[in-house]
Amino acid sequence: MTNTELLDRIQTPDDLKGLDRRDLKTLAGELRGFVLESVSATGGHLSSNLGTVELTLALHHVFATPHDRIVWDVGHQSYPHKILTGRRAGMTSLRQQDGISGFPKRSESEYDAFGTAHSSTSISAALGMAVASRNAGISRQHIAVIGDGAMSAGMVFEAMNNAGVTPDINLLVILNDNDMSISPPVGALNRYLARLMSGQFYATAKNVGRAVLQHVPPVLELARRFEEHAKGMIVPATMFEEFGFNYVGPIDGHDLDALVPTLQNLRALGGLQFLHVVTKKGQGYKLAEADPVLYHGPGKFDPAVGIQKATGPGKTTFTQVFGQWLCDMGAVDDKLCGITPAMREGSGLVAFEQRFPTRYFDVGIAEQHAVTFAAGLACEGQKPVVAIYSTFLQRGYDQMIHDVALQNLDVTFALDRAGLVGADGATHAGNYDIAFMRCIPNMVIATPSDENETRLLLSTCYRHNGPAAVRYPRGAGCGAAIETGLSDVPVGRGVVRREGERIAILAFGTLLQPALVAGEALNATVVDMRFVKPIDAALIAGLAGSHDAFVTIEDAAIMGGAGSAVCESLNAAQLVKPVLQLGLPDAFIDHGDQVALLAQQGLDAKGIEASIRARFPAPAAAGLRAVPSIEPKAAKSV
């Protein structure tokens, strides 16, 4: 157990004000140890939080929070902030249902000035706050803490461009430069920061100068001062200063003797300030320092041992299915290009990059650019596959409509983390993709029900000449056997998985599995619809002639979703049938266990059966069987 004698005395940031620099350094060690122990017990983001311990302490020591506003970009580095702002006890419930969030959340604490979880929003938000304070005549500081990976997004420069012409505001941007976002950062901006940070020219000159002048102290001191002035003139900080910011740095983000006085000076200066701090992800825990990607968002583990790789074969995840399919299809089609907005590991593109480096593109945290870049490739006969989390595709929506669909370009979207994602909560939920894509002309939307169906529908959508999306959830499926070929299926055709009577259950996606269990108990027909768009209107019309009622099931928002597509299809065919739409409600669903959250929404087998019996008691009365305790696997695809 970490010694927390000093940390035990810290209830709010006010308790930091009276600590001297030596105590702050001691506290940093205790805080880092507590973060490690907490995250290893609950799971969560680790590397990024270990890297911001000293910076967090310095900010709360110098600034008068919560009166002064701190906005943590993305926010997966805010655990030390949470611990210092009265939520230390809550760390045992981190990212669990009814527990504290893994990201800043305004409803959770007055110290969380802005809710974050998506990248590159901090400067825009802090600028808005600064203008509001100015207009209200309130004197306060506004600090945006942003990582070097997040600096690759265009929104950052839009905000800085706006800030540069906004008079009479206090805005401090702190670039937390750890040479790492989630995947290794890419692009010209990263190269610029790397040159600025490494300073090899200066390091060499300094070492030579010290060796020559070490016996002449006055001259050595003069050389040191000249070196600092020369560095200030030559280092390419011009870019930030052209936006109107006073650039300071880079400084060591783990050195409290540098951080504290620098922040005190910048607080006194006010105006537009840009501080560049260099930190190390995983700082203080050697295993995380050596592999910050592995320790970015681990589950539970023993800190003394580290993360242990699974020894036996586990269930294949949908991400792994996609990654293998991408490599297999890339091997037979040299026009295939894989695109990711800075989520190489999370989206399963590591092997593709290794095998096909010239056809792999990590465009940085720039979802808008990713989509339009794909459109440009498609214009010239390439076959781009954009691998992107459902929640992040929201950020490229205009480009999806204007640049891809309007021109009917051949772009395939592989949407990982569709539906509820569990511990990351509402900020990362992929609940809205069906609704926001379904209204776009030319779009094809596929909802595979298991691992093999995912592979089939990826091939189908890839071969479709036009924009198409395949959505699949986080984690593993039901364990379906995966065929190794690259077969496809007819676009817009569903498959009846169980023949029944009176009630037709139309399942979209992986909720087919509990639907089959409920269908068995109710003697209902169960259909794997496969596609939301185009909807299988002929199948729906045929079922309407032989069934009394329909039930639609989707791991997505009900409003405007797949169930709505079924209702529209019935209406277009002038067929009147009652329809029960099951899915996610018109509400943001907080973090928790993925399976438990689905059950809470009535989307497990028992919940589905109960909803059907309540809505259609007469047709459901034919179902005399109870729900089996073991859910059957989906039938083999055809």
Q: Is residue 2 part of a domain?
A: no
Q: What is the signed CA dihedral for 360, 364, 365, 370, rounded to 10 degrees?
A: -50
Kindly state whether residues 357 and 277 are assigned to the same domain: no
Q: What percentage of the chain has pLDDT greater than the value 70?
A: 87
Residues 6+ apart with CB under 8 A from 134: 168, 169
Q: What is the tens place of the pLDDT at every residue in 414-458?
A: 999 999 998 888 889 999 999 999 999 999 999 999 999 999 999
| Per-residue model confidence as pLDDT tens digits over 85-144 | 999 999 999 999 889 999 999 999 999 999 998 889 999 999 999 999 999 999 999 999
Residue 488 included in any domain: no
- 381 and 518: one domain? no
The C-alpha angle 206, 209, 211, rounded to 5 degrees, equals 110
**Tell me, what's the pLDDT at 242?**
86
- Residue 11's pLDDT is 93
462 and 557 within one domain: no
pLDDT band of 200, cuts 50, 70, 90: very low
- Clarify whether residues 561 and 456 are in a common domain: no
Q: Token pair of 236, please?
A: 């390419």
Three-state SS for 82-150 is HHHHHHCHHHHHCCCCCCCCCCCCCCCCCCCCCCCCCCCCHHHHHHHHHHHHHHHCCCCCEEEEEECCH
User: Of 238, 273, 290, which marks where a domain is finished?
Assistant: 290
What is the helix (H) or strand (E) element at residue 282, kind and residue range?
Answer: none
In the prediction, which pLDDT does 635 show? 39
Same domain membership, residue 442 and residue 359: yes
Mean pLDDT of 155-171: 94
- pLDDT exceeds cutoff 80 at 469: yes
pLDDT score recorded for residue 627? 42
- Residues 461, 507, single domain; the answer is no
233 and 366: one domain? Answer: no
pLDDT of residue 515: 97
Residue 227 and residue 348 in one domain: no
Whether residue 373 is predicted with pLDDT greater than 80 in this model: the reply is yes
Distance between CA atoms of residues 328 and 192, nearest Å: 36
Q: Is residue 187 part of a domain?
A: yes
Tell me, yes or no, whether 505 and 428 share the same domain: no
- Tell me, yes or no, whether 126 and 53 share the same domain: yes
pLDDT of res. 555: 96
**pLDDT tens digits along 253-266:** 999 999 999 999 99
Poorest-confidence range of 227-241, 334-348, 405-419, 621-635?
621-635
**pLDDT surpasses 50 at 231:** no
Query: What pLDDT shows up at residue 623?
Result: 52
For the cut 60, the answer to whether the pLDDT of residue 220 exceeds it is no
Residue 626 lies in a domain: no
Q: What is the pLDDT of residues 577-620, one digit of tens each?
A: 999 999 999 999 999 899 999 999 999 999 999 999 999 998 76
- 185: pLDDT strictly greater than 80: no
Please list the active-site residues: 281, 367, 395
Q: Are residues 75 and 119 in the same domain?
A: yes
Write out the residue range of the structural domain in which residue 43 sits.
7-290
Assign residue 412 the CATH number of its domain.
3.40.50.970
Number of domains, the chain: 3
Are 376 and 506 members of one domain? no
Alpha-carbon distances, residue 415 vs 386, 394, 448, 513 (angstroms): 8, 11, 11, 20
Q: Kindly report the CATH number assigned to the domain that includes residue 564.
A: 3.40.50.920
Confidence (pLDDT) at 208: 39
